Structure formats: structure tokens, C-alpha cells
Amino acid sequence: MIDWVDLMPKEDFDALSNPPAYLDDIEDGSPEDQLSNQMLNALESSTDSKYQQALSSVNIVKAYDGKNIRLPGFIV
């Protein structure tokens, strides 16, 4: 069975699985915890951090491109 993480390229999954340490210092709900459009654009154009690039990645696993698959989950 295919799981959601199987749809992410390994490089993106690895980057998101190892976030930078500074994120631990951000308090939930604080202004630093909110992503504005300006920050999202900065993340997309950032070349500094693989983590930041993976946050806005649209990369796919080509083996699943165009294939009919089933994913576990529930309707929200």
C-alpha cells in the first residue's frame, strides 16, 4: 500500500524530517509562527536551506505520475 510520504521525493522528505534547530525556539501562535505572503515568497526563492526549499516544493515522485493509486485517509 502506498502511504502519503511515498509521494514525496526522498530529498524533500529528508529535509522536512530534519528541521533547523531555530524552529524549536518559536512559540506557537506568536508573530514568528505566522507565515505571511512575503515570507512564503522568501522561502520559495531561498537557496540557503533545503528545509525551506522543501516547504514549498512541488517536486513529485515520477514513478507515480499519471498512475491511479489508493491512499489511506479520511474525508474532512
> For the residues 43-66, what does the mean pLDDT come to?
82
Residue 10: pLDDT above 90?
A: yes
**C-alpha count within 13 angstroms, C-beta hemisphere, residue 21:** 0
User: 64 vs 53, which has greater pLDDT?
Assistant: 64
- In this structure, the dihedral spanned by the alpha carbons of residues 1, 12, 9 and 73, taken in order and rounded to 10 degrees, is 30
First and final C-alpha spacing in the chain: 21
Identify the DSSP state of 49: -
pTM of the predicted model over 0.85: no
What residue segments make up the domains of the chain, in order of their start? 1-20+36-66
Give the residue among 74, 75, 71, 76 at the shortest CA–CA distance from 5.
Answer: 71
Give me the percent of the chain exceeding a pLDDT of 70. 82
